[in-house]
Chains A and B, each alone.
Chain A
Amino acid sequence: MASIRKLEKHQARTAYLFITPTVLLFTVFTVIPVVMALYLSFTNYDVLSRNDWIGFDNYRRLIEDSLLWKTFRNVFLYSIIFVPLNILISLLLGILLSRSWRGVKLFRTLNYLPTLTSAVAAATVWIWLLHPEFGLVNGLLSYVGITGPAWLSETRTAMLSIIMLTLWQSVGSNMIIYLAGLQGVPDYLYESARLDGANKLDCFRYITWPQLRPTTFLVSTMAIIGALQLFDQAFVLTQGGPANMTKTPVYLIYQQGFNQLQMGYASAQAFVLAVAILIFSLINMRITKAEESIV
């Protein structure tokens, strides 16, 4: 008995040794910052000189900050269009390419390639694709007699451009997730449904869609969290313009915190954004009704 306990003790000591680096890094770069985030949002910390407690001043200030609410409006507008389209397109691609016909693998690969590109490189390419005179998009439109807009500098189309770019970059990997999800749908469900005279649409509505609920939950949650934190593409493609139409909260926090060094105020903004992300994730959880726990 005694020796077994000794062995267990030795095992536990080894285990703690093994996880020490991870726990240490986690403490320094996650736990402390999370606690500090709340603290900083009540200060006027500016890196250089000041770090005083100013109570709720930052929060009072951000209520009146019309630019902040504009960025929130922008990113909500973006999410409302981007997230459903993202799910719809990747689900359709997943269903389309779930057959094991010849050449399907190649199509999967081609649809997946855009997800490999970095946001900066992709946005750089799209600046040129969307060039008003010599870009590919307007060039193709001119074949059918349409004069395309100046995508990136018109207020109506700037956000649309970012939506197109981010969809192009993200549907491929969600397609793979849906493909994996579709593999998990048991065949006998379809077989028995067909015996009962269900058509393809019924099969989708009553079998595929409900069975894919956990997958949809995962995809939509990740899409919402990512969409509300949009930055890279807006920074490179449109620089937040025209007239702040594509400026996002993260963009504003970045400018406020690192260009103007108002880190206390930027922390308060970040906190508000985090709360918004939490609320939307919860709403999404309600909608997709994922009964199973995530972990």
Chain B
Amino acid sequence: MDTSGSSLFKRSLSKSIYYIVCIVIAIVMFLPFYWSVLTSLKPDEEIFAMPIRWFPSHLTLEHYRKAFTTAPFALFFWNSLVLAVAGVLANLFFGSISGYAFAKLNFKLNKPIFRVLLAAMMIPGIVTMIPTVYVMRHIPFFGGNDIFGSGGNGLMNSFWGIILPGASGTFAVFFMRQFFLTLPSDMMEMARIEGCGEFKIFWRIYLPLTKPALATLSIFTFQAGWNSFLWPMIVLNDPDKATIQMGLQAFSYNFQTDYGPMMAGALVAILPILVLFLALQRYFVQGIAFSGIKG
């Protein structure tokens, strides 16, 4: 009797310790969010107060107003949104159509081309960064260039310079291929017997079946596009074309002591991904788990 009582006690003790550890870790991970939200809503004099004011005397949106009036954050937000959405649409289309070809269609160079694509994923981005700028500057017919690719700026300083290099990411192709492989091929045979065209088979029969994969891929691509910083900073020189990450960096560099508006800007830059995550959580997790399992 005594032993079972003490083991029950032991079990509930270890369960309590478990939860305490989990809670402490979660607080540490979440504290930066709370701190930045708090700062962005606190009146100025309470931001610079020690000891820490955990709960402000009143909330104010002043910092948000200031951030949006001193820097064109709305424009930056819009630019980033356009770029991220264009990246998602391009990757969904090109990724799924070539992923379908690699998974479902027989052609001689299927395996070799796919292997080359995968192998190229190993090349660090920094190696291709400078030559890609060269290539983009000399793309014929774009941005005032002639047929030999000289005379203008090519794709530099235009949104195309960000959209095109990432329009058919290898991850998208790989991801969609793996998903198409799980779908049966007999629907394809049936449709062919019925006289259905190849594109129609892809577009009408197979693509609708990949909706969960497309959702996961959209989220991944959107997050990558929205958060990217170095490449847009290289391509876009025009301040009117700046993305939200570039705008935020410039803002925090130029207004180094204005922590209220700085936090407001940072939260605006985080918000879309956070909203997307809370709405579509399971697709996020599926995507990461996929890259883990396939790895």
Contacts and interface: CB of A to CB of B under 8 A. Distances in A.
A236 B252 contact: yes
Interface residues of A, number: 101
Interface in B101-159: 101-102, 105-108, 110, 113, 115, 117-118, 120, 122-135, 137, 139
Nearest to A36: B131
Contacts of B9: none
A74 B46 CA distance: 37
A264 B32 CA distance: 41
A34 B26 contact: no
Contacts, number: 272
From A118, A181, A236, residue with most partner B Cβ within 10 Å: A118
B129 A177 contact: no
A266 B131 CA distance: 10
Interface residues of B, number: 96
B22 A104 contact: yes
A97 B212 CA distance: 25
A29 B118 contact: no
Nearest to A225: B124
A189 interface: no
A208 B8 CA distance: 27
Given A12-B107, A21-B94, A26-B120, A33 B245 contact: no
A22 B35 contact: no
B107 A15 contact: yes
Interface of B: 15, 18-19, 21-23, 25-26, 29-33, 35-36, 39, 47-52, 94-95, 97-98, 100-102, 105-108, 110, 113, 115, 117-118, 120, 122-135, 137, 139, 164-165, 167-168, 170, 173, 192, 198-199, 202, 223, 226-227, 229-230, 234, 245, 248-249, 252-253, 259, 262-263, 265-267, 269-270, 273-274, 277, 281, 284-285, 288-289, 291-293, 295
Interface of A: 7-8, 10-12, 14-16, 18-19, 21-23, 25-26, 28-34, 36-37, 40, 45, 47, 93, 96-97, 101, 103-104, 106-107, 109-114, 116-122, 124-129, 131, 133-134, 136, 139-140, 142-143, 168, 172-173, 176-181, 184, 214-215, 217-218, 225, 228-229, 231-232, 235-236, 239, 249-250, 253-254, 257-258, 263, 266-267, 270-271, 273-274, 277, 281, 294-295
28 contacts: A15-B110, A25-B164, A26-B168, A29-B165, A34-B131, A37-B127, A37-B130, A45-B134, A96-B18, A97-B22, A103-B22, A112-B284, A116-B223, A118-B227, A118-B273, A119-B227, A131-B259, A142-B50, A177-B289, A215-B295, A225-B124, A250-B230, A253-B130, A257-B129, A273-B124, A273-B127, A274-B127, A294-B295
